[in-house]
Structure 1
Amino acid sequence: MIDCQRERFSIPEEVHYLNCAYMAPLSHGVVQAMEEAARLKATPWEFAPVDFFTVCEHFRERAARVADVAVDSLAIVPSVSYALAVAARNLPVSAGQNIVTLADQFPSNIYVWRELAARTGGKVSTVERSSQDCWTAAVLDAIGPDTAIVAVPNCHWADGRIVDLERVGVACREAGAALVLDLTQSLGAMPIDFAKVQPDFAVAACYKWLMGPYGIGMLYVDPKHHDGEPIEYNWINRGGSEDFARLVDYRDDFQPGARRFDMGEKSNPPLLMGASAALDFLLEFGVDAIAETLADQTQAIADAAAKMGLTSAPIGTRAPHFLSLGFPGDVPGGLTERLAENRVHVSLRGTSLRVTPHLYNNGADREALLAALR
């Protein structure tokens, strides 16, 4: 178990923030890195042309270590919707083919597929899970010879129930379907073996479980798509762009690997250096240890909540860092507002109370939540 890291965050003792799936608080280290990076704009003569590239590669290298993938397989993106637009541009869908998604999946991983299906004559197939199960069986049942793309998360953003991505990856390869993942609610808090899953594209925004700032994320691109088409054509992604004196010697080649998919104006020191500091925090402990520690936290809450008649899925059906508490009847009116009055901060998603702690939480946070629920 990892010791509580609360002293590294600006969370007052009386505040009980159990809502990392909503937005992670920035650690002191991340804030300091962002402030130092912002001051670079005050002295731009000290920001050399090479720094446009080094700040990017510093972030890319750390992101690759957290995901355990090759550095050249990662692109820098501003959002999940941007990354999924890249995926949609590079994956074929024919008339009559389907794109598999989860019911009540987060909108950024729905709208892009609806638009792609409308343009190509395909259709979006939304799967429903059995009431007490994880999502795996429902996804596997939906994959067939007419499946073009499976676009799913590792765990559902509302209920935390998992998709077994290794089994889904096998089914996709057998059907000739592409696999696109939104890992925003899992990467950094839940292990994933990219070598076994073999996604075509996978994205994670940094502002949740990667503990970083808003407005930046990482996009994994399988090497077979490295010659694909970006959604914007900016100068810095082209070959030879390190030589500022020759930028008007226009070139058709790109920077190596997935860098052709990097967003424009990617060399933003506050975002990149802040996100890098956040990734360093995760790398200090390792994703496996973080997942184990968060599983211990969520299970302790689940066990105590069960004594009040609240239900939850077991770990294995749900992600270790995600706990959704169900009520025996209707959700009490104004529940989250009443909890907030007691300085307990969680989220209501559908008919479940979503409780998502991190390393900054302690036993006092757990007891405050349980006392407020009682």
Structure 2
Amino acid sequence: MNCQRKKFNLKRKFAYLNCAYMAPLLKKVEIAGIEGIKAKRQPSKISGEDFFKEAETLRVLYSDLINNSEPNRIVMIPSASYGIGNAVKNIPLQKGENVVLTKDQFPSNVYPWKSHCEKYGADLILVVPPDTENQRGRKWNESILAAISEKTKAVSLGHVHWADGTLFALKAIRKRCDEVGAAMIIDGTQSVGAYPFDIQEIKPDALIVAGYKWLMGPYTSGLAYYGPRFDQGEPIEQNWINRKNSSDFAHLVNYQDEYEEGALRYGMGQQSNFIANPMLITAIKQLRQWGVENIQNYCADLIAGPLEEVKKMGLYVEDAEARGAHLFGIKFPKDRMEHLAKALKVHRVSVSIRGEFIRISPHVYNDEKDMNKLLRALKEAL
């Protein structure tokens, strides 16, 4: 796979290694959004069927991306916290039971569980990463598995850690969840679209993904998968479009107690976004054309040489098999962080500082020149 920079409007003088912060829009995604805005000039041309057509297209396209055989298990959400909220609401808890998370994971996958546990007197277990640079990822996964017990009702975590890219052993965690009857909720916001995810293989009870990062869509767009565990649940939002027969506009005042079947009950109100949906559709089509595995391989090839240089500088990076290639952390001396911030600005490099790690998140628009800019900034800051 060759560098795809020409498909974006990124300026050559900047090294944007920060897709985990926010993806740049593809040129064709930008055009799709503009066309959506133009379509809103003539609302008389928007039919009742149009409220559902693009949503169905998204379900099918996204299902192909994650190997999901049931498109009606996919719904549109405005944010990761919304998607997590639907799952949290339908996990019964009692005093003495617990929910297992990883420490320092993204707040949208913490606050809903924290509130839920406090309400019912359950315990929130935050599994701390090991204080070591020797097989850190493996040991962290072992600690997660050890934390899951007969009292665990849910395990909720990312596929990769949002700050340092640590890869979590989802198949092993799924197996342990099955042994104790716990739900497994995955926040795939920092992986799906750039790191292969297979619903059939992982079998999560829910997969929540905000769309403006690795799905390369607009802000306030996202997609969620809900498995059979949630088929009879209650959504956090009581809107018109997730009720039975909602497509019959002429009889919407014949109020329905029943929701749409299965996962469709969890869809957001105003999911028929005539601007954002075409943008996300266009983005996912491009991801399918590139191939998620090819994206991951491109990133792995791009960073291989530079990371050897990083290690020669005495900086820590997790071993390749224990992290993603699209998102990884470089541990940097705390007393040199201010120097690093200045060097990054001088060399026009965009990355994120997350805790004690510099979070690097390349994509197919990056090339060797971008990585060289990063290396120069790191060397200058040490």
TM-score range, shorter chain: over 0.9
Q: Corresponding residue for 1:92?
A: 92
Alignment of 1:225 with 2:224, yes or no, is no
- Output the amino acid matched with 1:87: A
Q: Secondary structure at the match of 1:148?
A: strand
- Output the amino acid matched with 1:24: A
TM-score (norm 2): 0.94
Q: Unaligned regions of 5+ residues in structure 1, if any?
A: none
Q: Corresponding residue for 1:5?
A: 4
Q: Corresponding residue for 1:204?
A: 209
Q: Secondary structure at the match of 1:219?
A: strand
Q: Corresponding residue for 2:13?
A: 14
Give the stretch that moved more between structures: 296-305 or 149-158.
296-305
- Mapping 1:1-374, distance limit 5 Å: 2-69=1-68, 70-130=70-130, 131-132=132-133, 133-134=136-137, 135-327=140-332, 330-374=335-379
* Amino-acid identity (%): 38
Give the stretch that moved more between structures: 64-73 or 108-117.
64-73
Deviations 1:219-277 (A, max 9, x none): 11002312211111211122222121111122223333311110001101111111111
Preserved contact between residue 303 and residue 371 of structure 2 (Cα < 8 Å): no
Preserved contact between residue 187 and residue 209 of structure 2 (Cα < 8 Å): yes
Question: In structure 2, how many angstroms separate the alpha carbons of the residues matched to 1:331 and 1:198?
Answer: 43
Question: In structure 2, how many angstroms separate the alpha carbons of the residues matched to 1:298 and 1:87?
Answer: 36
Q: Unaligned regions of 5+ residues in structure 2, if any?
A: none
Deviations 1:112-157 (A, max 9, x none): 0110001111010111122231131111010011111111111111
- Output the amino acid matched with 1:259: L
Deviations 1:188-215 (A, max 9, x none): 1111222232211110101111111110
Question: In structure 2, how many angstroms separate the alpha carbons of the residues matched to 1:367 and 1:243?
Answer: 57
- Output the amino acid matched with 1:357: P
Question: In structure 1, how many angstroms separate the alpha carbons of the residues matched to 2:117 and 2:374?
Answer: 43
Preserved contact between residue 340 and residue 377 of structure 2 (Cα < 8 Å): no
Question: In structure 2, how many angstroms separate the alpha carbons of the residues matched to 1:270 and 1:373?
Answer: 40
Question: In structure 2, how many angstroms separate the alpha carbons of the residues matched to 1:193 and 1:274?
Answer: 24
Preserved contact between residue 202 and residue 219 of structure 1 (Cα < 8 Å): yes
Q: Secondary structure at the match of 2:99?
A: strand
Tell me the CA shift for residue 338 of structure 1. Answer: 3.0
Deviations 1:34-85 (A, max 9, x none): 1101112111011111000002112222111111112111111000111111
Tell me the CA shift for residue 31 of structure 1. Answer: 0.5
Give the stretch that moved more between structures: 300-309 or 310-319.
300-309
Give the stretch that moved more between structures: 294-303 or 210-219.
294-303
Q: Secondary structure at the match of 1:330?
A: helix
Preserved contact between residue 298 and residue 322 of structure 1 (Cα < 8 Å): no
Q: Secondary structure at the match of 2:336?
A: coil
- Output the amino acid matched with 2:265: R
RMSD between superposed Cα atoms in Å: 1.4
Question: In structure 2, how many angstroms separate the alpha carbons of the residues matched to 1:49 and 1:366?
Answer: 49
Q: How many residues align?
A: 373
Question: In structure 1, how many angstroms separate the alpha carbons of the residues matched to 2:294 and 2:75?
Answer: 26
Tell me the CA shift for residue 337 of structure 1. Answer: 4.1
- Output the amino acid matched with 1:300: G
Question: In structure 2, how many angstroms separate the alpha carbons of the residues matched to 1:309 and 1:149?
Answer: 39
- Output the amino acid matched with 1:189: A
Tell me the CA shift for residue 329 of structure 1. Answer: 6.2
Q: Secondary structure at the match of 1:14?
A: coil
Preserved contact between residue 185 and residue 206 of structure 2 (Cα < 8 Å): yes
